[in-house]
Amino acid sequence: MTSMAPALKGVGVSPGVAVGPVALMGGEVPEPAAGQAPPGSDPVVELAASRSALEAVAVELEQRGAAVGGDVREVLDAQAMMVRDPGLADLVETLTGQGRLAARAVWEAFTTYRDVLAGAGEYMAARVADLDDLRARTVARLLGVPVPGVPDPGYPYVLVARDLAPADTAVLDATKVLGFVTEEGGPTSHTAILAKSLGVPAVVGCAGATDLADDTRVIVDGGTGDVRVDPTEEEIEAAHAKVAARKAARGHSTGPGATKDGQPVSLLANIGGPADAPGAVAAGAEGVGLFRTEFLFLDRVDPPTVDEQREAYEAVFSAFPDGAKVVLRTLDAGADKPLAFLNLAGEPNPALGQRGLRAVRRAPEVLADQLEAIGRAAAATRADVWVMAPMVATAEEAAWFRAQAKRQPIDKAGVMIEIPAAALRARAVLAEADFVSIGTNDLAQYTFAADRLVSELSSFQDPWQPALLDLVARAGQAGRETGKPVGVCGEAAGDPLLALVLVGLGVTSLSMAPGSIADVRLLLARHTAEDCRRLAAMAVEAPDADAAKERVRGAATGVDELGL
Ligand code: PEP
Ligand code: MG
């Protein structure tokens, strides 16, 4: 581990402050160099080191098993037995006796075992992955490098990683993670989305973060993007006060969203399926502003039936109180969400190809079935059901979509604004739509010609970019002129400071990860509509995203007090 700087800087993507010890997410453990130990090394010492590392891994597995209990305990106890296997110990003894260093001896012993298992039939072969994990854990200890995978130090920690993948976060114990810091990733990265859904602070794109040693104390400010390393007692005290303030304030954050002077701003949830609905209700969402319906279609060879879809939609509608608004986005296939039965294979540029509404226009029966399922579910429940089409570029597309939707008993049919053309001509689009909802994730991607999936381009994905705000302003202006609702449902809506700016630009509803709703509600209630317009003007006039953020943070009320 290298020495560390007193402060690191990244991009704050989930607000709040966290104080705690670092636990590093381990990467791949390197294979220890082959060959004999250097002169002067002692086989007895190497054997003792190997034994104690193996024993430490076994004990750790047992302790983790005991803490969780049930099936997990059985699995981990069985793994501990593998680590204590006498045959393995004998092999390590032979190898250290032949002059291998401890890490190399352990590596070779496990590898011998694994090769035997791999050739011993299907059942045993399934244990190979377990052995690889145990080898990595033991060797990591001997080499002094982080253990692979999500850490479990047994106490609350700040998770530091190069980046997080969905598979990593699936096994994360959310009650132990105080905050996230990643070296890579941007505002729409998996880390940002996860942190917001958990409501914990996160800083991404933070250079040098993975050089921090385990257990280093840090203060993570998910609002400013600052990560303070080895803070002073006073700094820790101030940070704890912020954590407490945020906790207390969030406890009192209830009711519909509104500015300080009573202008309503609906605070809605982004959901990906019925399983997300109870969490959204619990977080105080007034309804759903973006129901991503792709989950029904992914990993399938044929589209789901009308009945299958109706059931899923009804489950979401009935999870919310009667009359709650639920905005469904019709199937958004293509580019980052490809579907085998709909999208063209081999397009040179899928993000600029037959995606979103364009894809279903080529297969209108897929959209017709979906709208029918939505119409039936709407008729069977009391939700206020709206539908919107993704990836719309022109007013003609909006008119075509509305005509399809109006064949069903669906109250409102609108479109998403995710393509700059639609933002620039928002007035014409709104003439053909009941509402619009701005998808800032794709709108940023298309405005800056920067792939949202390329982590190195993540600064372009920052929704504070003044050019992006100009497009939002254009849509907001069109909304004011036509008297029609203009929502935002990209990640931008869940940033409390940016939410003020969006409202100031004319946005009438905000849809976000449920974990962000309380913060947005609190900060909005501290500002009048006029304050929001003033902050919006400051952001739009800023030269770049960082300056926009800094100016608004400096001018907003209650940021420190609310611990944001
Ligand atoms: C967006 O593009 O901002 C959006 C909300 O849609 P998705 O992230 O699902 O593409
Ligand atoms: Mg999108």
- Encode pLDDT of 197-228 as tens digits: 788 899 998 999 999 988 999 999 999 999 99
Residue 560 has, within 13 A of its CA and on its CB side, a CA count of 5
Average pLDDT over residues 3-13: 76
The mean pLDDT value for 101-122 works out to 84
Provide mean pLDDT across the span 536-541.
Answer: 98
Q: From CA 190, how far away is CA 186, in angstroms rounded?
A: 9
Assign 422 a pLDDT band (cuts: 50, 70, 90).
very high
Please state which of the ranges 220-224, 307-311, 560-564 shows the lowest mean pLDDT. 560-564
Each residue of 130-142: pLDDT tens digit? 788 889 889 999 9
Tell me how far apart the alpha carbons of residues 158 and 187 are, in angstroms, rounded to a whole number. 19
Cite the active site residues: 190, 489
Q: Identify the pLDDT of residue 492.
A: 92
Atom number of ligand 1 nearest to Cα 390: 6
C-alpha of residue 197 to centroid of ligand 2, in Å: 18
Q: State the Cα–Cα distance between residues 215 and 345, nearest whole angstrom.
A: 48
Phi, psi of 176 (to 5 degrees): -100, -15
Give the model's confidence band at 347: pLDDT under 50 very low, under 70 low, under 90 confident, else very high. confident
Percent of the chain predicted with pLDDT > 90: 67
Residues comprising the chain, all counted: 564
For residue 336, is pLDDT > 80? no
**Statement: residue 1 has pLDDT above 60:** no
What atom of ligand 1 comes closest to residue 439's alpha carbon? 3
pLDDT digits (tens, 9 = 90+) for 367-393: 999 999 999 999 999 999 999 999 999
Between 517 and 71, name the one with better pLDDT.
Answer: 517
According to the per-residue pLDDT averaged within each range, which of 22-31, 126-135, 444-453 is highest?
444-453
- Beta strand pairing call for 7-9 and 217-221: unpaired
Give the C-alpha separation, 221 to 10, whole Å: 10
pLDDT reported for residue 4: 42
Per-residue pLDDT at 101: 93
Which atom of ligand 1 lies closest to the CA of 440? 3
223 alpha carbon to ligand 1 midpoint, in Å?
Answer: 22
Element (H, E) at 287: strand 287-292
Residue 3 has pLDDT above 60, yes or no: no
Q: Which amino acid is at 462?
A: D
**CA-closest residue to ligand 1 atom 6:** 439
For residue 489 and ligand 1, the question of a CB distance below 6 A is answered with yes
- Comparing 248 with 227, the larger pLDDT belongs to 227
- Residue 221: CB within 6 Å of ligand 1? no
Highest mean pLDDT among 11-15, 250-254, 543-547: 543-547
24-28, 289-293, 436-440: range with lowest mean pLDDT: 24-28
Q: How far is the centre of ligand 1, averaged over its atoms, from the C-alpha of 99 (Å)?
A: 58
pTM of the model: 0.79
Chain centroid to CA 384: how far?
Answer: 28
Q: How much of the chain exceeds pLDDT 70, in percent?
A: 96
Contact (Cβ atoms closer than 8 angstroms) between residue 436 and residue 479? yes
pLDDT of residue 169: 66
User: Bridge-partner residues for 160, per DSSP?
Assistant: 24, 181
List of residues 6+ apart from 496 with CB closer than 8 A: 15, 516, 519, 520, 522, 523, 524, 564
